[in-house]
Amino acid sequence: MAGFRALLFALAMAFVCMDRAFVGANFSKNMIITWGKQHVNMSGDNLSLVLDKSAGSAVRSKAAYLFGSIEMLIKLVPGNSAGTVTAYYLSSSGNTHDEIDFEFLGNTSGQPYTIHTNIYTQGKGNREKQFRPWFNPTDGFHNYTIHWNPSEVVWYVDGTPIRVFRNYEKEGVPYPNEQGMKVFVSLWNADDWATQGGRVKTDWTQAPFVAECLRFRPKACKWKGPVSISECAALTRANWWTSPSFSQLSSDQLARMQQIQTDFMIYDYCKDTNRFQGVMPPECSMPQF
């Protein structure tokens, strides 16, 4: 166990160092402020989001995307972050929207964050999986990547896959493949549910809370409306993000993900029989990887 954690730490540090070599200027070119203008500092490839008792803050991408790889370096709120949520996700609009989530739920000082993942298709979610980080997400920047293609959605942390949602549309499971999604980043107060089910509230004496981001990289097909479904699908078939190496995890990636899920996953909707009263979502009975 200790050896595996040491290996993961070494891999994470190598991945972050590699990322820093490619830092460019993308936030100010590709993002707009959606709320909390006075709490957003966005310059070049740097983004800071602030939360205090008056307001939180959020930005979103100008463009929407259909398939590709979206990555960002994030340093989460340090210290007593209980009640706060730093969100990084893809989403379309409307009641039947698609969405792919990373949400980072804060905690009291010395207690671990929760990495909350979810996916919505046609407006329906309830597919949460949660993890404890095997590193301190507040003492430096870590890479969080959402890889999305016609075969699967994969959530990566510092290059390590932690979760997969495969395309079982032919078996009747909706899959997000017909709506372009924009990229959102936000910092907000959710002390009614975020920390221990809302039992631990935000300590406003610790404000302002600050989350920092670097290197927004959308390596993806730009969405131009329904007519671009075939265009993005054709581009995807010819592009790197749907090559065999990205259509299914390698044996090494699978082994690493399974170890992460064994050691650090704290909630899996596919194991919550009480919640679904024994009628589990259909994808839970299918191969997860």
Candidates 71, 103, 152, 212; catalytic one: 103
From CA 50, how far away is CA 48, in angstroms rounded? Answer: 7
Does 212 qualify as catalytic in the annotation? no
From CA 138, how far away is CA 135, in angstroms rounded? Answer: 9
- From residue 206, give the alpha-carbon distance in Å to each of 69, 72, 84, 103, 287: 35, 26, 11, 21, 45
> Which one, of 166, 165, 135, 157, lies nearest residue 5 by Cα?
135
Candidates 99, 152, 212, 283; catalytic one: 99
Q: Beta partners for 142?
A: 74
Does 103 qualify as catalytic in the annotation? yes
> Which one, of 87, 46, 55, lies nearest residue 207 by Cα?
55
Cα end-to-end span (Å), the chain: 23
Other beta carbons within 10 Å of 260 = 19
Residue spans of alpha helices (H) in the chain: 2-20, 27-30, 228-238, 244-247, 251-264, 273-276
Asked if 33 and 40 touch (Cβ cutoff 8 Å), the reply is yes
**Hey, which residues are catalytic here?**
99, 103
